[in-house]
């Protein structure tokens, strides 16, 4: 598809509902249903060019302010500029793209977590192609396997392939262990462990579920509820899978193709967002970098101004609406006057899982065809290894590839606080220990830490999000949380973008319930682009995780964990 069609002419711009009329409420109204807003202004100016001019002037004086230049924030900005508006985007970082940025160091490019561009939302697909020139949006093969005891095992799991790779003796032991579990299933199958053992036996459970899942989430599998496993694993029947393996191919119904395809920008996901930011600026929007939104000033039931800090100076600007992709916990604390104590408490009780990548440059001979491999070994801390050269040859340099070792952590824990050199030494040691590199192979290394990579789903998170959401809807309805951390929701890029798109339409008078995005799809086991996560044990008030696991198993993780899904992934992304 070609370049975006910007409608810079004010006459082409549909009317945004003027700030002064939208959702006005008296201050201090208790939480409750959203009041019926006053009727929206007609979409066609009734007073002709003068009104249109005044309206445009008002828009320029009171822009929509967007916190964050990640996929959510930039999608909102891009769509607003298409309406002829001039949004102001504030980005705390020195780079756009948020979690979906491409980090560049010495000409090496890293995609943190590995971002496949795949969506079932047609509007998002259209936007991607509108933003990125066709030649820069590649179709890439997807391959990912489990690396276990020196062998590559297909993922998603295929029973015979897994058993063959485990070796004859271990396969027989797994068979007996499975039969034993069928005869004497665990009494408590309400937790993830009991549920899986009953269906796969202890040995297969230990090989393929326990370690990796614990690396991802940083909590013992026995503390996770079974329903999450049941939703994800329900279609894999080990007995049927083994029988299928011996049947002629046409008799097989459950075999998944190992290699799929996904779209990918030549220079990684950040390329999409760098070009998007350029388009926003070219169309009259403003993107302020290293500009942290610090305060949203609320008066008479709406946000009227925002303050942000940039280069040591505080700026205050008027705001018609505030679209926020900053973490919900942070958003609540920017609101002035502060929300009531229960709303602040709900915000402080939202938690996150963080993550870091140790990127190691190695000779091309150390490359593998997979985009990433899962590391189920218990004797290393690394959870997954990205091969950036397999994502795109443009991310690496001739004759070498770069492997991104992913460690899943809580911000502030021992691994998070390790010096970069120590992390690089650890990563190199683990790569050699796993047999994926030899002494002297690692040419150099880089460390990238990602705060709040994953919203943490504990037993209180839903109530906390509801409390915050209802308060904002009642007290400052022109503040719009969107995106992933913005809504404390496992949104991929596509859903983050879609929440932004619907919000822009809401500002323009529509009445979408943005919170339903990525809900219906959540537990689809096949081909879903939705993300989900198990509900985890509570973290304490200091934000510390349940301390049952050692450092090595306290690492969390985004893509794919667990092995059991026959047709999709268990990615907690
Ligand atoms: C490991 C991993 C793998 C993933 N894999 C995929 C994948 O394969 N495919 C896919 O589509 N998605 C994937 N995702 C999800 C994707 O990264 C997110 O959905 C997307 O980046 C969310 O966009 P967002 O704009 O909501 O938030 P973010 O990307 O978090 O952007 C928010 C922005 O707000 C800025 N900000 C925060 N506070 C402030 C403030 N006070 N003032 C100003 N700016 C502020 C931040 O600096 C940041 O730039 C993955 C995520 C992870 C962690």
- Taking only the tens place, the pLDDT of each residue in 7-24 is 333 322 233 333 333 333
Cα-to-chain-centroid distance, residue 203 = 32
CA 408 vs CA 147, 219, 375, 378: distances in Å: 18, 12, 12, 14
| Smallest CA separation from ligand 1 atom 1, residue | 113
Pocket test for ligand 1, best of 66, 68, 486 (most atoms within 8 A of CB): 68
CB 332 within 8 A of CB 298: no
For residue 453 and ligand 1, the question of a CB distance below 6 A is answered with yes
For residue 71 and ligand 1, the question of a CB distance below 6 A is answered with yes
For residue 354 and ligand 1, the question of a CB distance below 6 A is answered with no
For residue 55 and ligand 1, the question of a CB distance below 6 A is answered with no
Residue 458 token pair: 């504990």
Pocket test for ligand 1, best of 288, 296, 386, 484 (most atoms within 8 A of CB): 484
What is the CA(316)–ligand 1 centre distance, in A?
25
Report the alpha-carbon distance of residue 330 to residue 495 in Å, rounded.
21
CB 155 within 8 A of CB 145: yes
What is the CA(99)–ligand 1 centre distance, in A?
4
For residue 102 and ligand 1, the question of a CB distance below 6 A is answered with no
**pLDDT tens string 518-563:** 775 443 333 444 455 667 766 664 555 443 343 333 333 333 333 3
| Smallest CA separation from ligand 1 atom 29, residue | 98
Ordered by where they begin, the domains of the chain are: 46-101+268-349+460-515 (3.50.50.60), 116-123+134-264+350-455+537-573 (3.50.50.60)
For residue 218 and ligand 1, the question of a CB distance below 6 A is answered with no
For residue 120 and ligand 1, the question of a CB distance below 6 A is answered with no
For residue 330 and ligand 1, the question of a CB distance below 6 A is answered with yes
CB 344 within 8 A of CB 445: no
What is the CA(98)–ligand 1 centre distance, in A?
4
| Smallest CA separation from ligand 1 atom 37, residue | 326
CA 4 vs CA 71, 81, 95, 280: distances in Å: 17, 11, 23, 11
CB 374 within 8 A of CB 146: yes
For residue 571 and ligand 1, the question of a CB distance below 6 A is answered with no
Taking Cα atoms as reference points, which of 23, 66, 45, 50 lies closest to residue 326?
A: 66
**pLDDT tens string 108-153:** 999 999 999 999 999 999 999 999 999 999 999 988 888 888 888 8
For residue 111 and ligand 1, the question of a CB distance below 6 A is answered with no
What is the CA(30)–ligand 1 centre distance, in A?
32
For residue 265 and ligand 1, the question of a CB distance below 6 A is answered with no
Helix (H) or strand (E) holding 160: helix 159-166
- pLDDT digit of tens for each residue in the chain (573 aa)? 333 332 333 322 233 333 333 333 333 333 333 333 333 333 333 344 444 444 444 445 799 999 999 999 999 999 999 999 999 999 999 999 999 999 999 999 999 999 999 999 999 999 999 999 999 999 999 888 888 888 888 877 777 788 888 888 988 898 899 999 999 999 888 888 888 888 888 988 888 888 887 887 787 877 776 666 665 555 556 666 565 555 555 544 433 344 589 999 999 999 999 999 999 999 999 999 999 999 999 999 999 999 999 999 999 999 999 999 999 999 999 999 999 999 999 999 999 989 999 999 999 999 999 999 999 888 999 999 999 999 999 999 999 999 999 999 999 999 999 999 999 999 999 999 999 999 999 999 999 999 999 898 888 899 999 999 999 999 999 999 999 999 999 899 999 999 999 999 999 999 999 999 877 544 333 344 445 566 776 666 455 544 334 333 333 333 333 333 332 334 444
For residue 92 and ligand 1, the question of a CB distance below 6 A is answered with yes
What is the CA(431)–ligand 1 centre distance, in A?
28
What is the CA(326)–ligand 1 centre distance, in A?
9
For residue 74 and ligand 1, the question of a CB distance below 6 A is answered with no
What is the CA(531)–ligand 1 centre distance, in A?
14
| Model confidence, pTM | 0.81
For residue 66 and ligand 1, the question of a CB distance below 6 A is answered with no
165: helix, coil or strand?
helix
What is the CA(484)–ligand 1 centre distance, in A?
6
């Amino acid at each position: 598809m070609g370049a975006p069609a910007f409608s810079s002419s004010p006459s082409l711009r549909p009317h945004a509902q003027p700030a002064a009329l939208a959702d006005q409420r008296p201050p201090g109204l208790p939480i409750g249903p959203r009041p019926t807003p006053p009727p929206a202004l007609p979409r066609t100016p009734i007073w002709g060019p003068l009104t249109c001019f005044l309206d445009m002037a008002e828009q320029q004086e009171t822009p929509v302010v967007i916190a964050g230049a990640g996929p959510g924030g930039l999608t909102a900005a891009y769509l607003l500029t298409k309406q002829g508006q001039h949004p102001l985007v504030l980005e705390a970082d020195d780079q756009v793209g948020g979690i979906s940025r491409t980090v560049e160091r010495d000409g090496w490019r890293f995609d943190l977590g590995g971002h496949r561009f795949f969506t079932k939302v047609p509007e998002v697909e259209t936007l991607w192609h509108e933003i990125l020139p066709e030649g820069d949006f590649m179709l890439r093969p997807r391959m990912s396997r489990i690396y276990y005891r020196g062998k590559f095992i297909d993922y998603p799991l295929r029973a015979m392939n897994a058993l063959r790779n485990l070796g004859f003796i271990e396969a027989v032991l797994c068979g007996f262990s499975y039969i034993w579990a069928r005869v004497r299933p665990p009494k408590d199958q309400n937790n993830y462990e009991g549920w899986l053992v009953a269906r796969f036996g202890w040995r297969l459970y230990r090989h393929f579920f326990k370690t990796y899942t614990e690396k991802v989430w940083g909590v013992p599998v026995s503390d996770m509820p079974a329903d999450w496993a049941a939703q994800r694993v329900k279609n894999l029947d080990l007995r049927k899978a083994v029988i299928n393996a011996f049947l002629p191919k046409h008799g097989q119904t459950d075999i998944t193709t190992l290699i799929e395809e996904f779209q990918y920008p030549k220079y990684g996901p950040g390329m999409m967002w760098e070009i998007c930011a350029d388009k926003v600026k070219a169309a009259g929007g403003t993107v302020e970098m290293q500009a942290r939104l610090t305060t949203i000033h609320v008066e008479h039931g709406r946000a009227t101004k925002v303050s942000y800090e940039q280069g040591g100076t505080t700026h205050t600007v008027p705001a018609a609406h505030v679209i926020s992709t900053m973490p919900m916990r942070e958003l609540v604390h920017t609101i002035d006057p502060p929300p009531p104590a229960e709303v602040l408490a709900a915000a402080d009780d939202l938690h996150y899982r963080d993550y870091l990548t140790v990127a190691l440059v190695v000779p091309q001979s150390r490359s593998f065809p997979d985009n990433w491999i899962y590391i189920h070994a218990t004797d290393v801390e690394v959870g997954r290894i990205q091969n950036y050269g397999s994502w795109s040859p443009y991310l690496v340099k001739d004759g070498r590839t770069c492997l991104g070792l992913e460690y899943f952590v809580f911000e502030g824990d021992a691994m998070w606080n390790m010096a970069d050199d120590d992390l690089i030494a650890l990563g190199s040691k683990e790569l050699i220990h796993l047999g994926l590199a030899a002494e002297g192979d690692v040419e150099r290394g880089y460390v990238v830490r990602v705060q709040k990579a994953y919203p943490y789903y504990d037993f209180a998170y839903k109530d906390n999000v509801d409390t915050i959401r209802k308060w904002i809807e009642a007290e400052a309805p022109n503040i719009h949380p969107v995106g992933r951390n913005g809504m404390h929701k496992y949104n991929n890029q596509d859903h983050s973008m879609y929440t932004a798109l619907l919000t822009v339409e809401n500002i323009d008078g529509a009445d979408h319930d943005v919170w339903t995005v990525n809900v219906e799809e959540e537990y689809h086991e096949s081909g879903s682009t939705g993300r989900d996560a198990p509900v985890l044990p509570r973290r304490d008030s200091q934000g510390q995780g349940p301390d049952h696991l050692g450092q090595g198993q306290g690492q969390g993780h985004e893509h794919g964990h667990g092995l059991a899904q026959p047709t999709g992934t268990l990615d907690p992304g």
